[in-house]
Structure 1
Amino acid sequence: MRRLAGLILSCLVLSALALLPSDPAAAARRDGASAGAKWVVSWVGSVQGPYPVGNPSAQPDQRFAFPSEAAGARDQTLRMVVRPDLWGREARLRFSNAFGTRPVTFDGVHAGLQLGGPALLKSSNRPVTFGGKASVTVAPGQSVWSDPVRLAFVRDPADPLLAGRKLAVSFHVAGESGPMTWHAKALQTSYVSPPGSGAHGHEEAEAAFPYATASWFFLDAVEMRAPADAFAIVAFGDSITDGTASTMNGDDRWPDVLSRRLKAIYGNRVAVVNAGIGGNQIAGPAEYGPQKPFPGGPSAKSRIDRDVSALSGVSALIWLEGINDFSRNGNAGFDTVKAAMDEVLARLRKERPDIRLIGATVTSALGSSSPAHGFVEQDEKRRDLNDHIRAPGVFDAVVDFDAATLDPSSGGLKEEFVPESTTGGKGDRLHPNRSGYHAMGQAIDLGLFAPKGKAAQR
């Protein structure tokens, strides 16, 4: 008996040893639990609103999901599908009621791996809490971060099979939300249960979600626990960053192209997040809120803190904006826009000196079919702003998107960049298509983002 007991004890010890990592440091890195682990922003959907004020693309009819704009969401579950650009074993989520007029209560919040449509990978869905509680009420004008949620399906954050996979964040709106804070132009399909249908966020099947939306509601940021050397780049701007005329669900905006190029070098240690809003301006509108909304969202001046400074792990900003200020919607003078741009840059340099500020030259809208764009005076102001962007000392570096997309013979976009990719239309000569965004993403010098003391491949 003593011999048998000894054999059993030996087996147990060997089994326990087999479970120990041969390289504890490597295991800690895989778990994101090393002493240097930090939060890094992995996805952004800059908020505007309230719904339906905005510029969505390829939007299904929303009357059945949201019958009343004033009531907003009513006792129903939203399943927002997002693509984290960096994965970790822990995530935290930010919910916004920035442009609501009444408190909104979220409960039954879950996060899981999308399988297809609104269906989730089996056993991937995990409950999300707020201060240890299963529900949270967000006051008008406010936002809230969730507690960290362990993503059990992420065994190794660096697994290349996770790259490009999508996270489904589901939440129940208790009662009526009132006017909804949203991001109009997701170019990504998400899903909604019928009004009055209750809480279904815990369900991994798709039966409860018959309605689709091409916008994101309430959820506006996801951060991941990442290694100490991970970093994020914010692409900040208007519809040409947001991705108008790119492919629906195609992830082929210029920030997406840049991300894939950087991942070939840094793997799961870099995120490029998209803080573009269709129709956005640098200086205008002067006033913005639930009672005075504007389709282009709040100005760059008023949203820079929420959409850049408040996010974790940001090492660089690429700012492409200005064409809407000079449109017939903005009617701004060059000096006004220049002053607003310089004001934002000065604020960032004071508050976030760790962020490298990269200016992107504004692409041409000359000859656009849009009634608000395409006239000569707009193009003259655009070229003046580009001269300012290129001037020494304004930005830390410059990306020349104008050179990458301009047809010198016409002064407008290159012809092959005009036909739009979202619905196959002829294009508006304002927004580049998939090919144009590809050219823009390829035109960026990757050396701009190399960590200090290191050189990136070009």
Structure 2
Amino acid sequence: MKRRSLGEGALAAALIQAIGPDALAQGGPSAGGWATAWAASVQGPYPVGNPSAQPDQRFLFPEPAEGARDQTLRLVLRPSIWGQRARLRFSNAFGTRPLVLDGVYAGLHLGGAAVVPGTNRPVIFGGSPSVTIPPGGQAWSDPVDLPFAAEPASPLLMGRKLAVSFHVAGASGPMTWHAKALQNSFGTAPGAGAKGAEEGEGSFPFSTASWFFLDALDMAAPAGTPVIVCLGDSITDGTASTMNGDDRWPDVLARRLDAQQPNRVAVVNAGIGGNQVVGPAEYGPDKPFPGGPSALSRLDRDVISLSGVTTVIWLEGTNDFSRNGNASLEAVRGGMQEGVRRLRAGIPGVRVIGATVTSALGSTSAAHGHKEQDDNRRALNAFMRDGNLFDAVVDFDRPTLDSASGGLKPEMVPESTTGGPGDKLHPNRAGYLAMGSAIDPAAVLPARR
């Protein structure tokens, strides 16, 4: 796909074409439906995964096999769009016991573990304050009103975060989680009971850099609101980006779109650190893998079942070609062909965008950086550019590639999470900024029907 950049006027025109002038004229959600505003692809059970900047979890979860025990978690997340009503999806996908949740609340995040006073709203399930989710299952909450979001497009809500609190009754057993949140959330001590109604932070002494059980958030939105799902591995999940900084490449894309038409396009992250297109062959509570289930095996849960999806941007392949993956080029190409077929069958009219894989040549990671991996990466990128599989191609390779070394540009190597030297595999904030800025909105927004 030939690259072109859009100025502000052209970007606005692309948004108007995608959404329609009538929807853009509305000040808030109308008769429409649900749009996914945030997601966290699940893996498990805890602690198998690849978290970043994780605090010591011994006091929050003393016995990992027992999981959470009679305690309240307060998860902090940033919706891509706001609505006057929301609903939450909780997952026990990789649990082995029934998960009992009660005391569920959602409020505007203030800072630390505190909620803005007066915004904390109770969340119910089928009219009940509690829900039991069987092993392998999931549950949607009833819609909950968000009075503080009465004007969803208000600049005062842009970038604000939601605090979702819930009490785990009894012991959860093995926990379904998303390891790499790159966002601090909070928890009470085990045995502390239900504390979600409290808006202060006194009951939440412990922190975590992961999300547990909660895997999707919907907002009420006008009909036709585009939802862009970014499917991938750690380079989509945001490894080496800024802790609590929301500067992964999907975040950069979301802000670009939001700056032109506030609250009109949702961009959600379906990345898992270490993920592969075709591996592992088996995955479950008894056979966990740090990179989570393969992209192919999680498409239904992490993409197709989400609300209002119009576009999928797929960036993956690095881990398949690593020494841990050892997949052939043919297997990954075939996996992408199968994945695109399933996405189009599962979401009629969806746009599927391929994203070229960034270089890991010279990486300090033992599993990455070798010549064979780079040869396969370049061949996969050529297939994406010329194979006519995707509706369009986003080129992340060109803006991040150092032509002299064949690896990442030097300024994109030092990692932004803890200030380390970087691994020459994961771009830092500068790299993700370049990637998110390289996306042509006209390529990823659906044409107006």
State the TM-score, normalized to the length of structure 2: 0.93
Larger Rg: 1
Matches of 1:360 and 1:370 in 2, distance apart?
23
Residue 246 of structure 2 corresponds to 251
Residue 7 of structure 2 corresponds to none
1:228 CA drift (Å): 1.6
**Which of these residues, 40, 47, 67, is aligned with residue 72 of structure 1?**
67
**Which of these residues, 142, 160, 166, is aligned with residue 171 of structure 1?**
166
**Which of these residues, 139, 153, 158, is aligned with residue 158 of structure 1?**
153
The answer as to 2:259 corresponding to 1:264 is yes
Q: Structure 1 counterpart of 2:300, which letter?
A: D
1:30 CA drift (Å): 4.4
1:23-422 equivalences in 2 (<5 Å): 29-30=26-27, 32=29, 34-35=30-31, 37-422=32-417
1:158 CA drift (Å): 1.0
Matches of 1:103 and 1:386 in 2, distance apart?
43
Matches of 2:235 and 2:446 in 1, distance apart?
27
Does the CA-based 8 Å contact 1:279-1:295 persist in structure 2? yes
More RCO (CA 8 Å, sep 6+) = 2
Matches of 2:66 and 2:49 in 1, distance apart?
18
Distance 1:138 1:453, change over 3 A: closer
Matches of 2:166 and 2:355 in 1, distance apart?
37
Matches of 1:349 and 1:367 in 2, distance apart?
37
Matches of 1:111 and 1:360 in 2, distance apart?
35
Matches of 2:300 and 2:115 in 1, distance apart?
34
Q: Structure 1 counterpart of 2:380, which letter?
A: L
1:450 CA drift (Å): 4.0
1:265 CA drift (Å): 2.2
Matches of 2:348 and 2:448 in 1, distance apart?
18
Matches of 1:242 and 1:439 in 2, distance apart?
16
The answer as to 2:419 corresponding to 1:424 is yes
Secondary structure of the equivalent of 1:43? strand
> Identity percentage over the alignment?
68
Superposed CA deviations along residues 293-351 of structure 1, whole A, max 9, x for unmatched, are 00000000010111111011111110000000000110111111111111111111222
Distance 1:48 1:391, change over 3 A: same
1:373 CA drift (Å): 0.3
Matches of 2:352 and 2:263 in 1, distance apart?
23
Secondary structure of the equivalent of 1:172? strand
The answer as to 2:429 corresponding to 1:434 is yes
Unaligned 5+ runs, structure 1: 1-24
Does the CA-based 8 Å contact 2:183-2:209 persist in structure 1? yes
Q: Structure 1 counterpart of 2:34, which letter?
A: W
Matches of 1:30 and 1:367 in 2, distance apart?
50
Secondary structure of the equivalent of 1:236? strand
Superposed CA deviations along residues 128-169 of structure 1, whole A, max 9, x for unmatched, are 000000000000111111000001211201111101000000
Structure 1 window deviating more from structure 2 (122-131 vs 265-274): it is 265-274
Does the CA-based 8 Å contact 2:38-2:268 persist in structure 1? yes
Does the CA-based 8 Å contact 2:27-2:151 persist in structure 1? yes
Q: Structure 2 counterpart of 1:113, which letter?
A: L
1:449 CA drift (Å): 3.4
Secondary structure of the equivalent of 1:398? strand
Does the CA-based 8 Å contact 1:231-1:269 persist in structure 2? yes
**Which of these residues, 426, 429, 443, is aligned with residue 438 of structure 2?**
443
Superposed CA deviations along residues 4-25 of structure 1, whole A, max 9, x for unmatched, are xxxxxxxxxxxxxxxxxxxxx9
Superposed CA deviations along residues 3-59 of structure 1, whole A, max 9, x for unmatched, are xxxxxxxxxxxxxxxxxxxxxx99x95452x33x21000001110010000000000
Distance 1:47 1:453, change over 3 A: closer
Superposed CA deviations along residues 190-221 of structure 1, whole A, max 9, x for unmatched, are 00000000000011010000000000000000
1:451 CA drift (Å): 4.5
Secondary structure of the equivalent of 2:382? helix
Q: Structure 2 counterpart of 1:352, which letter?
A: I
Superposed CA deviations along residues 252-284 of structure 1, whole A, max 9, x for unmatched, are 000000001111222111111000000000000
Matches of 1:228 and 1:353 in 2, distance apart?
16
Matches of 1:288 and 1:223 in 2, distance apart?
27
Does the CA-based 8 Å contact 1:229-1:269 persist in structure 2? no
Unaligned 5+ runs, structure 2: 1-21
Matches of 1:238 and 1:76 in 2, distance apart?
31
State the TM-score, normalized to the length of structure 1: 0.91
Matches of 1:368 and 1:247 in 2, distance apart?
20
Secondary structure of the equivalent of 1:153? helix
Superposed CA deviations along residues 103-151 of structure 1, whole A, max 9, x for unmatched, are 0100000000011111010110000000000000000111111000001
